[in-house]
Amino acid sequence: MKIAVCIKQVVTREWQLRVNDQKTWIRDADASFELNEPDAYALEEALRLKEKQGGEVVVCCAGPARATQVIREALARGADRAIHVEGDALAAADAATIAAALAGAVKDEQFDLVLTGLQSDDQGFGQVGVVLAEALGMPHATIIMDVQVQEGALRVKRELEGGWFQWVGLPMPALLTIQSGINQLRYATLKGIMAAKKKEVRKVIPPAGTEPRQQILSLYVPQKAKQTQLLTGSAAEAAKQLVAKLKDEARVIQ
């Protein structure tokens, strides 16, 4: 079974976010980075499927040169090789651009299964997986909590709203977006770290002519402020004023 896992490098959650001078993205020159957590669960699920079914796990990453950090981490955890679509503009690219870059890199590999995390910790749109499935012409299912391989097909458990779940059958090849918490993550061993240094990382140039579908015009950190208003008059008058403010100013009631 040949499995691709799409991963992303994101800023660590502990880092204090700062907006760049252009107000279009975070200032990441001095930031620390880590593997996107939902992608880590996708990688773990791929490694478990490989242990059951045999085959190969290939990690695929679209990002700048510094993304090699998380690629090596994925290889140390057990992935067999990697594909790196390298480009500085991919660091803050929109979902359509990332999906196009990944599709161009993996379309000729003939994967049986493509896994992505449900969403990224930085942008959180949850769109790369589904757009990539369309680009590759694969059936897909999202928010997956369990994966079962049955006679060349898949049976997967989707998480729905309100604590409900849904079992879906898919033919292969297929693409799944994996929900965080689907399994217990493993960590790289010393043996795995040493082995990762010898594993193949194939560099790929982003496809030409891919135009961004989305542009961030302005980015800012929310300002914290406190404001108190004193409502005067009788209890009935104060209640009437409060309802008016909640309706017209706060817009929390209709």
175 near 133, Cβ under 8 Å?
yes
Q: Residue 211: what pLDDT?
A: 72
Environment class of 154 (CB within 10 Å of its CB; exposed 0-12, middle 13-18, buried 19+): buried
Q: Which of 43, 50, 54 is nearest to 7 (CA)?
A: 43
Environment class of 15 (CB within 10 Å of its CB; exposed 0-12, middle 13-18, buried 19+): middle
Residue 254 has pLDDT above 80, yes or no: no
Q: Residue 124: what pLDDT?
A: 87
pLDDT band at 77 (very low <50, low <70, confident <90, very high): very high
Neighbours of 181 (CB within 10 A): 12
Give the residue, 234 or 18, on which the prediction is more confident: 234
Give the DSSP H/E element, type plus range, for residue 147. Answer: strand 140-150
| Cα gap 99→165, rounded to integer Å | 27
136 near 175, Cβ under 8 Å?
yes
Domains with residue ranges and CATH for the chain: 2-204 (3.40.50.620), 224-254 (no CATH)
Buried b (16+ CB within 10 A) or exposed e, 126-151: bbbbbbbbebbebebbbbbbebebee
For residue 245, the SS3 value is helix
Q: Kindly list the distances between the CA atom of residue 198 and the CA atoms of 15, 191, 219, in Å, as whole numbers in the listed order.
A: 31, 12, 40
pLDDT mean over 238-245: 89
Q: What is the amino acid identity at position 60?
A: C
Q: Per-residue pLDDT tens for 2-39?
A: 999 999 999 888 888 788 888 888 787 778 899 999 99
Residue 182 has pLDDT above 90, yes or no: yes
Look up tokens 């045999």; give the residue. 54
pTM for the model:
0.84
pLDDT mean over 196-219: 85
Q: Residue 225: what pLDDT?
A: 77
Average pLDDT, the chain: 91
Q: Per-residue pLDDT tens for 99-148?
A: 999 999 999 999 999 999 999 988 888 999 999 999 999 999 999 999 99
Alpha-carbon 122 to chain mean position: 8
